[in-house]
Amino acid sequence: MNNAMLLSALEEKFNLNPASARLLIVGLGATGYSAAQFLQQTPIKFGVIDSRRNPPLINSLREQMPDVPVFSGGFDQAALEVATHLLVSPGVSLNEKAIHKAMQAGVTVMSDIDLFACATDKPIIAITGSNGKSTVTTMLGDMGNAAGVKTAIGGNLGTPALDLLAQNGNLYVLELSSFQLERTSALNAKAAAVLNISPDHLDRHDDMADYAREKQRIFRGDGAIILNADDPLVMAMAGKGRSCLTFSVLHEADFYLQRGTINYLMFGERMLMRADELRLEGTHNIANALAALALGYAVGLDIEAMCQALKKFKGLAHRMQKVAESQNVSWVNDSKATNIGACIAALEGYDRKVILIAGGDAKGADMCELAPAVKAKTKCVILMGKDAALIERALAGCVPVHSAANMKEAVRIARQQSEAGDIVLLSPACASLDQYKSYADRGNKFVEAVLEQSAC
């Protein structure tokens, strides 16, 4: 799409005219920097503001775009009052006092996803949910390319959305978080899915209803909607007059798991592939595969090509990743399980009981919701991190609980408690930043500790 078409779309949807608009990018992380690079190619006047004195990309911005005004070390009220539009990065809460005040004064809030939606006329698949977003997004990237459609993936996963435009894809697949969706209004995906809803980010959302409402924003527009028939909160999002496909691992749906001597992934009456041809562990990954098939079908991807891509898909690092088999004990890294729902899904994917390593920052979630799955699926739990004591109280003695100061100690305790045939699962149900740089750093520390102790 050329600049004239982009500017026309921005004026129509956001009353953003380069002659009069003064856009301020709020937050100079990866998203804010990608937005600055994109806007630099347009006649739109913009600046950047960040509450941090030295945000991570400030030197790159000053070097590459020396004429762009930068305000750092706080949210300068004068700069916010001059702006007509705020492009707010997902890491910045809209409840931030200065941002909230600007919004009350009538400033238009938008996102990088809005810019992206106005900048391309290619089909977009949009994916959200509490769990499975990255896996389904990556599956669809492989499916699209296997079907001969040049497909680019990103958004909340890896590459910022605006950076994808340089790939000149014929299909874009975006993973979107609730934080991205709450400030996005221009997206009209050709197909969109809410994979599931479970407690997450309740430190930033008022309650579960508010969190679900933000997720539902992904269905704005007139494209096909894909719903998890096993999740009542998701099924309540069905809209009248919209093309709709469902998926389920519990009962028949448009795309579903048929259970028997051999389990099959089904589309109506059509057997697509055996479930055991997937290389991923857990029933929740079968649900992810069914969701991906439904989304791909909705945008016209060849079903056989999609199934071939699924058979080759090995999964993502830190997402139910089997990292070692030592003394007949399996060690599985699911560090990406940063909320209760992800941990429950991981536990329920196993037929035998596991030793669970969990803990970190619970992000305001009610950890009592974890107790039934822990009681049913674990032989013991090893807790670490900021909210370990909170989780132990929530589990209320339903299984033996051990405490660990760090990952090396957690792995040592797990090894002591394990017997041949056991599974040791790192699935924290919490964020990682209380002790680690990221969930990936946490997962890497787990892998290092497992390999180190396996060598002993």
Strand ranges inside 395-453, DSSP E: 401-403, 423-426
What DSSP line would sit under 353-402, residue for residue? -EEEEE-SB-TT--GGGGHHHHHHHEEEEEE-STTHHHHHHHHTTSS-EE
Max intra-chain CA distance, the chain:
70
In angstroms, the first-to-last Cα distance of the chain is 58
For residue 269, count CB atoms less than 10 angstroms from its CB and return exposed for 0-12, middle for 13-18, buried for 19 or more.
exposed
Bridge-based pairing of strands 378-383 and 191-194 is: unpaired
For residue 268, count CB atoms less than 10 angstroms from its CB and return exposed for 0-12, middle for 13-18, buried for 19 or more.
exposed
Tell me the one-letter amino acid at 392. Answer: E
Look-up: residue for tokens 């089997």?
A: 322
Task: Tell me whether residue 318 is one of the annotated catalytic residues.
Answer: no
Task: Tell me whether residue 131 is one of the annotated catalytic residues.
Answer: no
Of 85, 190, 196, 201, which is the active-site residue? 201
- What six digits make up the tokens of 50? 């960040």
Look-up: residue for tokens 């005219």?
A: 17
> Could you tell me how far CA 258 lies from the centroid of its own chain?
28
CB-based burial, 305-340: b 16+ in 10 Å, e otherwise: bbbbbbeebebbebbbbebeebeebbbbbbbbbbbb
Q: Report, in angstroms and rounded to the nearest whole number, the Rg of the chain calculated over CA atoms.
A: 23
- What six digits make up the tokens of 62? 């000053």
**Pair 272, 311: CB distance under 8 Å:** no
Residue 180, CA distances (Å) to 2, 192, 373 in order:
25, 14, 30
Task: Tell me whether residue 263 is one of the annotated catalytic residues.
Answer: no
Three-state DSSP class for residue 85: strand
How far apart CA 425 and CA 428 sit, in angstroms, is: 9
How far apart CA 190 and CA 86 sit, in angstroms, is: 26
Of 85, 133, 205, 215, which is the active-site residue? 133
By annotation, the residues acting in catalysis are 133, 156, 201
